[in-house]
Chain A
Amino acid sequence: METVTLTIKNQPSLYLEADNISPDAFAGKSAENIAALHAYEGNTQTTLGDHFEISGKGGATATETRIIVNGDVSKVKYIGMKMTGGEIVVNGNPDMYVGAWMQGGKITVKGNVDAFAGTGMKGGEIVIDGDAGNYLGAAYRGDWRGMQGGKITVKGNAGSDIGTFMNGGEIVIGGDVDVHVATHAEGGKIVVKGNAKSRVGGQMVEGEIIVFGDIEVMMPGFIYRKDVDLEVDGISARFALYEGDIGERHRKRKGEVIYGKLYQKY
């Protein structure tokens, strides 16, 4: 595996749209070629080389390429967008759309991410050591095709609207989450180790939400069914199972109505 190291040298005065920071774009390229890849600052086209010190080279394919991003990248968007393989390590706090529409490979962020990380994600893994912003693993504005697969792990807290229109995959939040969890979801699994606020599972059709802590306000569309014993992330415990959202349509399987499932730990 080859490694490319990007260290920010010139901060953009606006935000930098750098969807080319991806193993797919870097594969087979020298540091010089990578520096020539384009980025956008507002309506102006710039290059990665204008903003980053670049060393190393890409591997033969995306899978054999590892990217390390250093420095203050809080104004850099779209890192790892649509990547299909390989690895990205961000030593900083990137802006929006980290790993959006990602299909494979792994992104590790040793800091916090802003909103829309893992938007419409189809596969691969995102690990965030700090906190995540709003719309984690959600659908793009207006779209009904949210997270389809892969796994997102956040060690800290997450913002609001995580897993909106989620259809598959898994999101694990180590800390607390803000309002709106798995709104409109039709599949997938969200684990919240801390507390949730309100509107958990609103208009949920299918899928699972597991909350370890408190839910400040329960949705009226969720009904308590029974207690179950579950093992989640290596922790065995007793959970209360709620089903909903009863205000939504639900399909039947073998005569049985399939609801969204919300487990809350005792």
Chain B
Amino acid sequence: MSEIIIKNGFVFDPLQGIRGDKVDIAIKDGKIVETTALTNPKTIDAAGMTVMAGGVDIHSHVVGPKVNTGRLFRPEEKLFQNIKKTGSRMEMGTSIPSVYKTGYDYARMGYSYVNEAAMPPLHSPHVHEEIRDTPIIDISAMPVFGNNWFSLEYLKNNEIENNAAYTAWLLRATRGFGIKIVNPGGSEAWGWGLNCANIHEPVPYFDVTPAQIITGSIETNEYLGLPHSIHIHPNNLGNPGNYVDTLETLKLAEGYTAKNAFGRTQVMHLTHLQFHAYGGEGFNFESKVPEIMDYVNSHDNITVDIGQVTLDETTTMTADGPFEHHLRAVNNLKWANVDVELETAAGVVPFVYSANNKANAVQWAIGLEIGLLAKDPMRTYITTDHPNAGPFTRYPRVIKWLMSQAAREAQMDAFKHRDKVIDVTNIAGIDRELTLYEIAQMTRAGTAKALGIADMYGGLAPGMDADVAIYNLNAESMPSDAEEIEKAFSRCAYMLKDGIVAVKDGEIVAEPAKRTIWVDVKVPENAQVNRDIYEHFLKHYSLKLENYSLFEEHLHNPRVIEVNAAE
């Protein structure tokens, strides 16, 4: 079968501790193997180039109903923009690219795995149909639990075993990957036109607090031993002064340790931290990143991702319904909102982040501070909360800013309110420039470990998937012009998926099979939960239980991660 050897490249593989050494990477039948296992391999000469595992994105909105709502209600975003055909299908769109462009663009950047950040359980068939149509990259999707009536009721009564049984059932029903929590309690309150102002305020009509939802979910997650930890978008996104709620949320993880067979060490992943690290009031908000990152740095059971503002016109979309309503009143643009029965509520609003806007520039600085003040890059990850803070296609630009102080200064000089931004942030005083090794930690090794998939993705050890990205960057003599870094990460020299060259010189040359990753958990038979599910569907859902679970034909090329919590 097919054998490839990648020679002479500077290899960065934090999972094995390889720091830019010239190591040969051997591939056979889609897996990384020892070089001795090859007989007659094709050679890829990576001399003067950087070799990493395929990128693993821990948080991105790429498939599902709200993404599609964004696509549908922004025809202007497709007008004369990015319309081309280089792969087997047409590409179009910018902040919310078509499914094909999504797959191709991730592959061009050397990414092979994306974790969809919010799947409304009721709409899981739609999510899986889009997963099928997104080429090349493997995708998992996390159903949202933090406002789900079942979970709210179980957690109110501290019935962890019941919540675990329900969680296992829902993961199977939706072919989901893990426990996503969005604005716990707040999105349900939004169904009544309300929100939760802080994590200790009870959810209206449910008599359970966001804090209880979070700790109960951690206990559920560790009871089940899922590959990933709970993945939380905390309360009060985007509100000045919200760093207090963020710290309180992070502190809820104290005393919990990860119990799982997947090498994961955190019990909480707090996502798009940039939106949750604000001090001050109103438009006079300021960076509270040092306070937050001090806490994150000193607590090993927490991971975070950045959610970097990229200063682009984009389309925000989140299962945080009340936040999107708030955002609509800020920019007065079009707005879509939906309440998904007993489960969640989402919204979509276009948004223009501008370098001329002081608030947007402060957000930009806050995001980069998170990356630059991180002591452990294995626990702090690069994201743009695509497409909320910017499109994922800007990751290379974020990497450029993190790796080059000169690039950051050039951007700051372009701000209309440069001095005011510097006054309320810490970015100007930070001279750290991240290394390629740290970038590899933040974009594949760390994310794969946090997702509990580091035995397959995010590294180049024998036995792992042969997903490899080769970038046109000479690790021994890095370009003095930071633009070259952005260029190299935007269009990789080679991207291999399962040992097949999918991208060469930044262009799609093949479209290897992609997979859907989901987690199948065995739990003890639970008659009460079975009855609760049956009754809720009878009384409250608009469809029958028999029609709710994903039909097998919706599931594309599955890769099941099996977990046994029944023993």
Residues of A within 8 A of B (CB): 139-144, 249
B68 to chain A minimum Cβ distance, whole angstroms, is 15
A116 to chain B minimum Cβ distance, whole angstroms, is 12
Whether A140 and B79, one on each chain, are in contact in the complex, defined by CB atoms closer than 8 angstroms, is: yes
Whether A142 and B73, one on each chain, are in contact in the complex, defined by CB atoms closer than 8 angstroms, is: yes
Whether A249 and B79, one on each chain, are in contact in the complex, defined by CB atoms closer than 8 angstroms, is: no
Whether B332 and A140, one on each chain, are in contact in the complex, defined by CB atoms closer than 8 angstroms, is: no
Whether B334 and A144, one on each chain, are in contact in the complex, defined by CB atoms closer than 8 angstroms, is: yes
Additional A-B contact list (11), CB under 8 Å, known A140-B79, A142-B75, A249-B332: A139-B76, A140-B76, A141-B75, A141-B76, A142-B74, A142-B76, A142-B77, A142-B334, A143-B79, A144-B334, A144-B350
| A-contact bits for B57-91, CB 8 A (1 contact / 0 none) | 00000000000000001111101000000000000
In the bound assembly, the distance between CA atoms of A139 and B332 in angstroms comes to 16
**What residues on A are CB-neighbors of B333 within 8 Å?**
144
**What residues on A are CB-neighbors of B332 within 8 Å?**
249
Residue from B73, B332, B350 whose CB has the most chain A CB atoms within 10 Å: B332
Sorted from nearest, which 7 A-B pairs have the closest CB atoms? A143-B76, A142-B75, A142-B76, A141-B75, A140-B76, A144-B333, A142-B74
A188 to chain B minimum Cβ distance, whole angstroms, is 17
B135 to chain A minimum Cβ distance, whole angstroms, is 22
In the bound assembly, the distance between CA atoms of A143 and B333 in angstroms comes to 9
In the bound assembly, the distance between CA atoms of A132 and B332 in angstroms comes to 30
In the bound assembly, the distance between CA atoms of A249 and B331 in angstroms comes to 11
B306 to chain A minimum Cβ distance, whole angstroms, is 29
In the bound assembly, the distance between CA atoms of A144 and B333 in angstroms comes to 7
CB-nearest residue of chain B relative to A140?
A: B76
**What residues on B are CB-neighbors of A144 within 8 Å?**
333-334, 350
B460 to chain A minimum Cβ distance, whole angstroms, is 43
B75 to chain A minimum Cβ distance, whole angstroms, is 4
**What residues on A are CB-neighbors of B75 within 8 Å?**
140-142
> 18 interchain pairs (CB within 8 A)?
A139-B76, A140-B75, A140-B76, A140-B79, A141-B75, A141-B76, A142-B73, A142-B74, A142-B75, A142-B76, A142-B77, A142-B334, A143-B76, A143-B79, A144-B333, A144-B334, A144-B350, A249-B332
**What residues on B are CB-neighbors of A141 within 8 Å?**
75-76
In the bound assembly, the distance between CA atoms of A141 and B76 in angstroms comes to 6
**What residues on A are CB-neighbors of B79 within 8 Å?**
140, 143
**What residues on A are CB-neighbors of B76 within 8 Å?**
139-143
In the bound assembly, the distance between CA atoms of A85 and B74 in angstroms comes to 30
B74 to chain A minimum Cβ distance, whole angstroms, is 6
In the bound assembly, the distance between CA atoms of A119 and B293 in angstroms comes to 48
**What residues on A are CB-neighbors of B74 within 8 Å?**
142
**What residues on A are CB-neighbors of B73 within 8 Å?**
142
In the bound assembly, the distance between CA atoms of A144 and B73 in angstroms comes to 12
A46 to chain B minimum Cβ distance, whole angstroms, is 18
In the bound assembly, the distance between CA atoms of A145 and B73 in angstroms comes to 15
In the bound assembly, the distance between CA atoms of A142 and B70 in angstroms comes to 11
In the bound assembly, the distance between CA atoms of A179 and B83 in angstroms comes to 34
In the bound assembly, the distance between CA atoms of A139 and B79 in angstroms comes to 12
B284 to chain A minimum Cβ distance, whole angstroms, is 20
CB-nearest residue of chain A relative to B76?
A: A143
In the bound assembly, the distance between CA atoms of A141 and B334 in angstroms comes to 12
**What residues on A are CB-neighbors of B77 within 8 Å?**
142
B348 to chain A minimum Cβ distance, whole angstroms, is 12
Within 8 A of A (CB), among B334-350: 334, 350
CB-nearest residue of chain B relative to A249?
A: B332
CB-nearest residue of chain A relative to B350?
A: A144
In the bound assembly, the distance between CA atoms of A53 and B334 in angstroms comes to 45
**What residues on A are CB-neighbors of B334 within 8 Å?**
142, 144
A35 to chain B minimum Cβ distance, whole angstroms, is 24
**What residues on B are CB-neighbors of A139 within 8 Å?**
76
Residue from A139, A141, A144 whose CB has the most chain B CB atoms within 10 Å: A144
CB-nearest residue of chain A relative to B329?
A: A249
In the bound assembly, the distance between CA atoms of A122 and B77 in angstroms comes to 19
**What residues on B are CB-neighbors of A142 within 8 Å?**
73-77, 334
A13 to chain B minimum Cβ distance, whole angstroms, is 23
In the bound assembly, the distance between CA atoms of A143 and B334 in angstroms comes to 9
In the bound assembly, the distance between CA atoms of A142 and B332 in angstroms comes to 14
CB-nearest residue of chain A relative to B333?
A: A144
In the bound assembly, the distance between CA atoms of A140 and B73 in angstroms comes to 12
CB-nearest residue of chain A relative to B334?
A: A144
B45 to chain A minimum Cβ distance, whole angstroms, is 38
CB-nearest residue of chain B relative to A144?
A: B333
A25 to chain B minimum Cβ distance, whole angstroms, is 15
CB-nearest residue of chain A relative to B72?
A: A142
In the bound assembly, the distance between CA atoms of A142 and B73 in angstroms comes to 7
In the bound assembly, the distance between CA atoms of A142 and B79 in angstroms comes to 10
In the bound assembly, the distance between CA atoms of A144 and B79 in angstroms comes to 14
**What residues on B are CB-neighbors of A140 within 8 Å?**
75-76, 79
Within 8 A of A (CB), among B122-143: none
**What residues on B are CB-neighbors of A143 within 8 Å?**
76, 79
In the bound assembly, the distance between CA atoms of A149 and B334 in angstroms comes to 23
CB-nearest residue of chain A relative to B77?
A: A142
Residue from B75, B76, B334 whose CB has the most chain A CB atoms within 10 Å: B76
In the bound assembly, the distance between CA atoms of A143 and B80 in angstroms comes to 13
A45 to chain B minimum Cβ distance, whole angstroms, is 13
A129 to chain B minimum Cβ distance, whole angstroms, is 29
In the bound assembly, the distance between CA atoms of A142 and B350 in angstroms comes to 11
CB-nearest residue of chain A relative to B332?
A: A249
In the bound assembly, the distance between CA atoms of A249 and B74 in angstroms comes to 23
B283 to chain A minimum Cβ distance, whole angstroms, is 16
**What residues on B are CB-neighbors of A249 within 8 Å?**
332
In the bound assembly, the distance between CA atoms of A78 and B332 in angstroms comes to 30
In the bound assembly, the distance between CA atoms of A141 and B350 in angstroms comes to 14
